[in-house]
């Protein structure tokens, strides 16, 4: 979930800059000395133990390893695994489920939730995972899980989120640094479990993952050059899939007016007087954000612009009591306690159970597990990572043949379809003119309109009627059909 930033800090922050692969410098010696005769892949998941971790290492990445074990739970029809991505003293927790259809041939999906600071257990146990937590003691089978057609990972990242932790207080405060461990993890996994080699790999997520996923996919793409240099198979990065993403902050911020004051997805939820005040202040908001946050980043001026725009457009919405993740309904319970969905409290209680943590293989008992980390969210906010122009990563990936699906629940407010459509329409890539020329058209599921879509070449934009921020939660059948067609490269 992408959490409304309240209260705002007076952050100055600095722009996050990529370092063109300099982070691999420590592995250059390993790369030059690499000899495939010294590396024996594990090959088959069936050899893993259910009582202890198997450690996967790789000579190209001396600081990284992966621990993995069988943890058959949740689905009941296919094997499940859990483990940690270890980078020295940093440890990222993950879940992995094989496909219900054909695990030996189906694609592989990586999933992360957003926040920043949101655990992917939300996606797993509330949205697209093989089971759903109903109460702390009641877990039900999800027939619409995305593992109906794909092998799928859920990763708690960065450190400090969910069951992921750092031994000595290490932190990550930007998307670029967060993506490096993910890229190495994918390389180690595909190299060890040879049956997955060459499989199409899709990187997916929602909300703040609109920033994560383009950067993470770029890290995987760039790392592939290092793998090829070492004579290894690259990861077959096929696509990115962003659900209700907050990718470009200026276009998303201005769309908050449209969603609460115009009869778009639902009738206006604001008073006429408030909407007029918003409309009058919107040009200045857009000018300030474009000038200070987008065209030429100035951390102090960008903070001032953000404070002005959020006060103008966001604070009045919060006062209405409506659910920022589904503008068609009021928030259910205090936002700080439930995120407007009481089921999140049940998921949190479920994962706080000692027997559940034992089954999952959590390193040390966690007594106060939380689905969200305020510390991680604040660290990213202070770094102003939300202003980093990740839409350029999407453009770059499209130019390199990586497909991109931008799908949006039509009732979401916080990362809404208006802002996402604007972002796709201004993307700078060679297919821009063709994409913009396409009208929005309805797509259907079982003969019933499911949403609107526009596509050209490797880029597809789609809305889902009746869904909020978490599309698989509100519209599980339509969500699964969307993913099924995307994986099969079928037109919506």
Which has the closest alpha carbon to 184: 90, 86, 48, 117?
A: 86
CA angle (69, 56, 96) in 5-degree steps: 40
**In sequence order, what are the beta bridge partners of 108?**
151, 201
Which has the closest alpha carbon to 1: 483, 476, 376?
A: 376
Are 408 and 243 in contact by the 8 Å Cβ rule? The answer is yes
Q: Which helix (H) or strand (E) holds 62?
A: none
Cβ neighbors of 405 (< 8 A, separation 6 or more) are 239, 240, 241, 242, 460, 462, 482, 486
Two tokens at 9? Answer: 């800090």
Write down the residue that tokens 């960008």 correspond to: 302
| DSSP-assigned states of every residue in 204-219 | EEETTHHHHHHHHHHH
| DSSP-assigned states of every residue in 65-81 | EEEEEE---SSSSS-EE
Cβ neighbors of 468 (< 8 A, separation 6 or more) are 323, 325, 326, 327, 328, 409, 411, 412, 474
Dist. CA 272–CA 289, nearest whole Å: 25
Dist. CA 378–CA 47, nearest whole Å: 41
Taking the alpha carbons at both ends of the chain, their separation in whole angstroms is 26
Two tokens at 407? Answer: 């799908």
**Number of other residues whose CB lies within 10 A of the CB of residue 43:** 11
Cβ neighbors of 328 (< 8 A, separation 6 or more) are 265, 266, 411, 468
Residues tagged active-site: 207, 412, 469
**Number of other residues whose CB lies within 10 A of the CB of residue 36:** 11
Dist. CA 19–CA 3, nearest whole Å: 29
**Helix 249-261 vs helix 299-313: crossing angle, to nearest 10:** 10
């Amino acid at each position: 979930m992408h959490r409304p930033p309240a209260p705002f800090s007076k952050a100055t922050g600095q722009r996050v800059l990529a370092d063109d692969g300099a982070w691999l410098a420590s592995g250059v010696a390993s790369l030059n000395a690499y000899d495939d005769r010294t590396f024996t892949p594990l090959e088959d998941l069936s050899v893993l133990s259910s009582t202890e971790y198997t450690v996967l290492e790789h000579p190209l990445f001396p600081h990284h390893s992966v621990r993995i074990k069988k943890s058959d739970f949740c689905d009941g029809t296919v094997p499940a695994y859990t483990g940690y991505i270890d980078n020295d003293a940093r440890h990222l927790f993950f879940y992995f489920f094989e496909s219900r259809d054909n695990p030996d041939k189906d694609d592989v999906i990586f999933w992360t939730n957003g926040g920043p600071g949101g655990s992917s257990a939300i996606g797993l146990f509330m949205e697209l995972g093989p089971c759903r937590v109903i109460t702390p003691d009641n877990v039900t089978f999800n027939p619409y899980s995305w593992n109906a057609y794909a092998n799928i990972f859920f990763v708690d990242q960065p450190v400090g989120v969910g069951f992921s932790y750092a031994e000595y207080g290490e932190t990550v405060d930007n998307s670029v640094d967060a993506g490096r461990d993910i890229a190495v993890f994918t390389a180690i996994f595909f190299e060890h479990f040879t049956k997955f080699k060459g499989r199409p790999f899709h990187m997916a997520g929602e909300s703040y993952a609109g920033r994560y996923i383009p950067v993470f996919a770029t890290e995987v793409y760039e790392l592939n050059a290092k793998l090829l240099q070492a004579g290894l198979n690259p990861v077959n990065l096929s696509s990115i899939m962003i659900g209700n993403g907050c990718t470009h902050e200026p276009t998303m911020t201005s769309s908050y007016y449209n969603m609460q004051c115009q009869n778009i997805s639902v009738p206006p939820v604001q008073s006429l007087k408030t909407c007029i005040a918003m409309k009058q202040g919107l040009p200045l908001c857009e000018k300030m954000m474009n000038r200070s946050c987008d065209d030429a980043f100035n951390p102090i001026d960008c903070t001032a612009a953000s404070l002005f725009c959020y006060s103008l457009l966001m604070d009045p919405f919060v006062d209405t009591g409506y659910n920022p993740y589904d503008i068609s309904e009021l928030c259910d319970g205090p936002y700080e306690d439930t995120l407007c969905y009481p089921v999140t409290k049940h998921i949190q209680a479920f994962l706080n159970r000692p027997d559940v943590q034992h089954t999952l293989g959590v390193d040390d008992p966690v007594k106060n597990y939380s689905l969200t980390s305020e510390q991680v969210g604040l660290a990213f906010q202070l770094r102003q990572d939300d202003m980093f122009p990740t839409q350029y990563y999407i453009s770059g990936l499209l130019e390199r043949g990586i497909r991109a699906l931008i799908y949006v629940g039509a009732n979401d407010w916080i990362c809404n379809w208006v802002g996402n459509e604007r972002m796709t329409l201004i993307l700078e890539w060679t297919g821009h003119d063709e994409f913009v020329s396409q009208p929005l058209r309805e797509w259907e599921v079982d003969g019933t309109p499911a949403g609107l879509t526009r596509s050209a070449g490797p880029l597809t934009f789609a809305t889902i009627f009746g869904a909020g921020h978490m599309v698989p939660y509100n519209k599980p059948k339509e969500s699964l059909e969307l993913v099924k067609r995307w994986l099969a490269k079928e037109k919506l």
